[in-house]
Amino acid sequence: MNLSELAQQVGAVIEGDGTPEITGCAGIKVASPDQVTFLANSKYLSHLAETKAAGVFIRESDPCPEGLTRLICDDPYFAFRNAIVALHGFRQHPEVMEDRGDGISSLAAIHPDAQVGEGTRVHPHVTIEAGARIGKGCHLYPGVSIGPNATIGDDCILYSNVVVYDHCRLGDRVTIHACTAIGNDGFGYATHAGAHHKIPQIGIAVIEDDVELGANCAIERATMGETVVGAGTKFADLISIGHGTTIGKHCLMVSLVGIAGSVEVGNYVALGGQTGVAGHLRIGDGVQALAKTGIASDIPDGAIVGGAPAVDADAAKRNALAAMNLAGLVRRVRKLERQLERSAQREE
């Protein structure tokens, strides 16, 4: 489509030449004359003078060099996302190998007591155990394992080697990337007479609607009750959620976040990479944590924190800056101590 058509499709107001044919989307530094780009962060303003893009999604208040077509919108990043959808679409799923005629591979192992909804595609070497229920329009990649009496909603995508343990539940439109486990046993042991005795984990894990989980995540089942990941929440890769923890709606978790058991995480919480959360805490709605934050106490609604243990983000940044030259600070203190010692000796 040409630039004017694309702008109209994503709800942007075009200022400039709308005739170029657009074939794709790219970053501001590498975009070519048949691509569009975006400006969402003012630190990249200087690159506008050099970009070869046919047009840039930009806020009306942001300056732009003369001759570069502006695609004015309130949220350039979201508009750019919509342009990617319009031009590139989402991943197309492969056809099922050894399809027996109904979208299910003859190489899949499906128990006679399991239910598979209409339009669901099941690839080779998928295992669906007794009592499991799979909704409509799902896509199960090779190696997926669905445990006994587990429930998968409609339009879910489970990539290769995802495991959903027994009795766990997934809502609708859930996407789970490769090698993630839902409902593995929680880390529960009773230490007696010097030995660690396993506590049977008799709860389940629940993943609500519109959740996307990255690769190699682990959502532990509760010891009793439910571990819950709330609707609309998105995980990156390599994230561990402890047993009995509740994650609210529309949260964002960056890679290597680890949350211990029995934590209550509010709605719209964003935890930066490598953030760790101790057990039995409450993290309020709208909390943001910088990367490598160590949360060891409750965090109130709306707080922005960083550091280990977590403090206000501004204080955490000052602490980090102060710690960048600890060796130099130690040398200065020792020098001052020697000077004080010499002064004291002279006075004696």
H helices present in the chain, as ranges: 3-10, 76-88, 313-322, 326-347
Sign of torsion over alpha carbons 75, 77, 78, 80:
positive
- Annotated catalytic residue: which of 167, 243, 250, 280? 243
The span from the CA of 294 to the CA of 269, in Å, is 15
Query: What is the per-residue DSSP string for 6-63?
Result: HHHHHT-EEES---SB--EE--TTT--TTEEEE--SGGGGGGGGT---SEEEE-TTS-
> How far is CA 268 from each of CA 234, 248, 265, 337, rounded to the nearest angstrom?
10, 7, 9, 50
243 is catalytic: yes
Kindly state the DSSP code that residue 96 receives in the 8-state scheme.
P
Pairing of strands 189-192, 195-198: antiparallel
Which positions are annotated as active-site residues?
243
